[in-house]
Amino acid sequence: MSHPVTRFTAAALAAALGGTLLQTPAAAAGPAAPSASVTAVAPVLTAAAGTSGASAAAKPRFTASVRYDKYVRRGGYVTYRVKVTNKGGYRGQAYALLGGSFPSGTRRIKVVAKPRSISCKTRGRTLNCWITSLDDGDTTSVTVRAWLRPAKRGRYVPKFGVAYTADHDADRNRLFRAIRFKKLTGTRIL
């Protein structure tokens, strides 16, 4: 393909994916020392479930982005700051479920910061956060900390995702199964 056709195809693909190709992880400034705390940013996919009354033309767009440490020592912890945004196209009150699935080598998961309007549960290596106040254009964030086992070395790669609904009494287990999780680049355990 010629250069203008290639650029047009890339732009159309970026528009279709909601601009996720244009977002890049934050780059570290030079080589990092093993104890340096460098953060990375990763976009997370969304999934629709139980969106009664929403037409295809006015389909809501919920996005989530995750900031996390790029390096961590064995037996330490990784902090994830997940921002969920309602980009619009949804009339009325929107409810979202933020889900997280952590890999083996996770000792404990705890939500360390969140607004009062969000209720979170952790069970084993999974995270469920029910977000009830996400109107058109609103953004909210949840900070999660995952402690690692001391013997684990290599890459630590959790998955996050968001599903939304118009029903306040929706079955959260079914909604959790509807989430299309996206793997992060991962934290390197030294």
CA-based nearest residue to 62, from 49, 71, 52, 74: 49
The arrangement of strands across the sheet holding 187-189 comes to 71-72, 187-189, 154-156
Structure confidence at residue 50 as a pLDDT band (50, 70, 90)? very low
pTM: 0.67
Whether residue 46 is predicted with pLDDT greater than 90 in this model: the reply is no
Whether residue 48 is predicted with pLDDT greater than 50 in this model: the reply is no
Provide the CA 89 distance to its chain's centre, in angstroms.
20
User: Would you tell me how many other CB atoms lie within 10 Å of the CB of residue 184?
Assistant: 20
The stretch 53-81 carries a mean pLDDT of 77
Whether residue 4 is predicted with pLDDT greater than 70 in this model: the reply is no
The stretch 115-136 carries a mean pLDDT of 88
**% of the chain with per-residue pLDDT over 90:** 27
The stretch 24-36 carries a mean pLDDT of 38
Q: How far is the C-alpha of 174 from the C-alpha of 93, rounded, in Å?
A: 20
The stretch 100-105 carries a mean pLDDT of 90
pLDDT of residue 171: 82
Q: How far is the C-alpha of 32 from the C-alpha of 118, rounded, in Å?
A: 35
